[in-house]
Amino acid sequence: MAKDDLLGASLWDAYSNKVTTLMNNPQHQGEIFEAEAEERGNKLIVADFGAESCGDAVRLYWEIDPKTDIIINSKFKSFGCGTAIASSDVMTELCIGKTVDEAVKITNIDVEFALRDDPDTPAVPPQKMHCSVMAYDVIKKAAGLYKGVDAESFEDEIIVCECARVSLTTLQEVIRLNDLTTIEQITDYTKAGGFCKSCIRPGGHEQRDYYLVDILADTRKEMDEEKMKAAADAGGSASFEDMTLVQQIKAIDAEIDESIRQFLVMDGGDMEVIDIKSSDEYIDVYIRYLGACNGCASSSTGTLYAIESTLKEKLSKKIRVLPI
């Protein structure tokens, strides 16, 4: 078999039998006319949606019973590829018998799943998943026209992956809860990026406002910053003995600033921590007096006692203050 024949066969096999059947013989293609709907006491809604990325377009007809909001009948016209025709046909069938509010909950995943021959085998290749995305968008458009609201009012979250209808909030939560580190893991957990792949990074089939690579990087950065802050907070509340040397020096300086330094400065002096050495029995804090405190008789008696007593009370009873 020639290479082109092999390529053609593999591409053909990527479509389900339902897709190949419906693209050639759609069951709900056609029009509903306003006079017909009015004669039956129903309201006709006609909604159009087009995908700029591929030029496909679909027109959806809903005949709605205004007393119950139930979609009594539905038809479509599709201006696009065979996959768009099959997707539109199944989307139309899923709408019939539902209320408008129920129909708005139909997603492109529902459409793609209904096109499968078996639950585990995708109905279309990933690059054609965008055809079923149009189904969700045109349904929102029709519902908005019927209810007199903007179609976007039915969407209360930022959708990153249109194919799998995965929101920004969901992605951030899944990354955090499961400590995800790769795009492959995100796809495994959420299906985002598993179809047309446009949401993974710039340069795909369609331009997106958000990409998985950026969401992953930003969320991981936030997680790392939160871990560092938690570690710092834990260090601040940990026992003095368990602190690092840097944390111990900072803790001593903070206590000196609060209780001692102002009196030293008033007399023209100051002090600084030179080193800390710990043993099983003592934590020796080596200090150096500055200014007028250096050589002052009180520096080895009253002042030293005040410093050591404060640090023992506030930080650890094991502290000894030793002037150098």
CB 104 within 8 A of CB 47: no
Q: Would the pLDDT of 49 be above 90?
A: no
The pLDDT assigned to 42 comes to 97
Q: What is the DSSP string of 188-240?
A: HHH-TTSSS-TTTSTTSSS--S--HHHHHHHHHHHHHHHHHHHHHHHHHHS-G
Domain residue ranges of the chain, discontinuous segments joined by +? 3-155, 157-236, 241-323
Q: Would the pLDDT of 6 be above 50?
A: no
40-49, 115-124, 270-279: segment of lowest average pLDDT: 115-124
37, two tokens: 């709907």
Q: Would the pLDDT of 4 be above 50?
A: no
Q: Would the pLDDT of 250 be above 60?
A: yes
Give all strands (DSSP E) within 29-93, no chain letters. Answer: 43-50, 57-65, 70-79
241-247: average pLDDT: 84
19-25: average pLDDT: 93
The pLDDT assigned to 8 comes to 46
Q: Which of 180, 206, 181, 183 is nearest to 194 (CA)?
A: 183
136-152: average pLDDT: 89
- Tell me the one-letter amino acid at 27: Q
The pLDDT assigned to 224 comes to 82
14, two tokens: 């990527």
The model carries a pTM of 0.53
Could you check whether 3-155 and 241-323 share the same CATH topology? no
Q: Would the pLDDT of 100 be above 90?
A: yes
Active site residue 54: yes
Cα dihedral 119, 103, 127, 85, rounded to 10, equals: 100
Cα dihedral 111, 85, 166, 16, rounded to 10, equals: 60
Active site residue 161: no
107-121: average pLDDT: 86
pLDDT tens for residues 169-207? 889 988 988 888 999 999 887 888 988 889 999 988 778
The topology (CATH level 3) of 3-155 is: Sufe protein. Chain: A (3.90.1010)
pLDDT tens for residues 160-173? 988 777 889 889 98
Cβ neighbourhood burial of 269 (10 Å; 0-12, 13-18, 19+) = buried
Catalytic residue among 95, 131, 199, 293: 131
Tell me the CATH number of domain 241-323, given options 3.30.70.270, 3.30.300.130, 3.90.1300.10, 1.20.210.10: 3.30.300.130
69-96: average pLDDT: 93
Which helix (DSSP H) or strand (DSSP E) does residue 271 occupy? strand 269-278
pLDDT tens for residues 53-72? 567 789 999 999 999 999 99
Cβ neighbourhood burial of 6 (10 Å; 0-12, 13-18, 19+) = exposed
